[in-house]
Chains A and B, each alone.
Chain A
Amino acid sequence: MVEQYDVIVVGAGFGGPVAAKQCADSGLHTIMLERSKIPGEKVVSGLVIPVYGFLFGPEFIREGNPPIERPIRSVMNRFVKNGEIYASDHSLRLPAPFTVGYSTYCKPFCIWLADRAVDSGVELRTATTAVDVIIENGFVRGVITDKGEELRSKIVIDAGGTQNNLSLKAGIRKKFVPEAIELYMIWDFEMAKEDVDSVFGNSMEFFHAMPDEKIGAPLGYGSTLYFFTYRDSIHPGLGQFLVTEGKIPNVAKLLREYFDNFTTKVRRWREDIAPKVKLRAVTWDVCPIYAGLIPEMRKMPYFGNGMLIIGDAAGFESAAFGDGVPSAWFSAEIAAGVALESIKAGDTSKAFLKRYGDRVKADPFIMHTITDTRRWDMREVLKSKSENEHKKRIRDHWGIGAFRYKYMGGPCLKATGRSIKNDPGIIAKWPEMFRRYYRNWEENRFDRLSTD
């Protein structure tokens, strides 16, 4: 049986529903395919979505009541030596209700996003894997599902995440090189809300150390051990790139060792945290965090005849923060806009869809964040072994220095100007969003999910 759509969106993670909703709102006949039974239950990361995603991303998220776990108002950086904290940097902190981001579990947030797409008329088909693309005369004309169905469309938006291989099958992209890929492991612990409040407050917390401490990957080759804080749980994780100093080490063994070392040696864990927590889940996944820093990956196209590629599938990960949600949202909105224009024009060729690439490049954040070298450059500390240099670089990365114009300050200013130009009313909507999100969290009241 052949079914015909204007747009097929593959993947109901963070980007897919945004693209699908906008397509449906524009009057396009849109279907979204999701391989898991319920959206978000295969999305693993643990997450603090940076606030710039909410401020400058989709209006329906800003004006909605998505399920957030905790407003994150500050970043606490701990410097560890011999298991003891010898210095802290808490320079990046904001008064309530302002935040640097919002923590969330992936599943409820993805369900909330998919619900909004369905409300707009998107047909959502879960437990459905797109296994191949239909190509005719060099154009992507749809997908084939694992049940053998042929779904046809004018445009396919590939929102399949990091490991997605549809755009590979379409001959548009190649798989990420291992230097671009970080493997990370996450532990989820239950912790009473009042304990999270007293031990962490509304901070996320990092544990930075020189390599001989062995509580994380060599600097610049992974994610420092981080604690995302949720309503009544905490979500520590760490990661290492598949390639470290030119070789593929036993990353699987190392990640477990780092966390074992942390939990046995670091006093903050043993005395302040461990007595109050209970392990609930262990997960892992990979992320193309350095895709934008490796020229052959960055230069790969994210569009082809009949296909647009968004989010992680296109390698749009923040190389410094390791976060992909804001760029997934920004690229989803751009892709939906271009899909509508191309369908109206009756031209879905690569030449027409180039405007998607041009707009991605002109976005204040996407290219800026995927080419941000601050994490990569931590490798310099491995050479200098200087504690002062380490602290200085962390201050510029996870401290107040992150607001410098050349880091996040420039893109935020540009996006602010652009947003106000498009909608002067947004000046009032931003503080209203901060207040509403904070109140939602205090009252633990969010939009109902379709699965509730």
Chain B
Amino acid sequence: MVRTFRDIPGVEWVEGTGNFITIDEEKCTGCGNCLKVCLAECYEIVNKKARIRSMEKCMECGACWYSCEDGAIDFSWPAGGTGFRTNWG
């Protein structure tokens, strides 16, 4: 299955990525850096903790992982052949 979005033309997302970004709730201080650097609006803050809202527009840039000063976010790669793809990069 492939997803597309009208507000992000020219990009497709192939399903089956697995959870390639995870948040360690113990370590998260709710600083919100992940929200501020995520162009895909993947994150939200609930009860002073970051939570993944939706990964459907994630372009796997890892800005959240780099910005997380608490080391609460872990980033790996989606399963081979899944996740975002574009002809126009």
Contacts and interface: CB of A to CB of B under 8 A. Distances in A.
A40 B84 CA distance: 12
Give the size range of A's interface with the partner: 35 or more
A181 B39 CA distance: 15
A283 B11 contact: yes
Contacts, number: 132
B72 interface: no
A284 B38 CA distance: 10
Contacts of B39: 183, 185, 252, 255-256, 284
B79 A129 contact: yes
Interface residues of B, number: 36
A134 B63 CA distance: 27
B80 to A, nearest CB: 4
A281 B7 CA distance: 9
A126 to B, nearest CB: 7
A250 B38 CA distance: 9
Contacts of B11: 281-283
A263 interface: no
A281 B80 contact: no
B80 A251 contact: no
A147 interface: yes
A397 interface: no
A162 B65 CA distance: 12
Report which residue of B60, B63, B76, B85 has the largest number of chain A beta carbons within 10 angstroms of its beta carbon: B63
Contact of A42 (B10, B69, B85): B85
Nearest to A43: B89
A166 to B, nearest CB: 10
A44 B86 contact: yes
B47 to A, nearest CB: 22
Contacts of A175: 65-66
B30 interface: no
Nearest to A164: B77
B61 A284 contact: yes
Nearest to A186: B89
A107 B8 contact: no
B81 A131 contact: no
A286 interface: yes
A38 B86 CA distance: 10
Interface of B: 7-11, 14, 33, 35-39, 41, 59-63, 65-67, 69, 75-81, 83-89
29 contacts: A35-B77, A35-B78, A35-B81, A37-B85, A41-B85, A41-B87, A42-B86, A45-B89, A105-B88, A107-B86, A107-B89, A127-B81, A129-B79, A162-B62, A163-B62, A163-B65, A163-B75, A163-B77, A183-B61, A185-B39, A186-B89, A242-B37, A248-B37, A251-B36, A252-B35, A283-B10, A284-B39, A285-B59, A286-B66
Given A46-B89, A176-B66, A286-B66, 9 more contacts: A36-B85, A41-B86, A44-B86, A145-B80, A162-B62, A165-B76, A178-B66, A256-B39, A281-B88
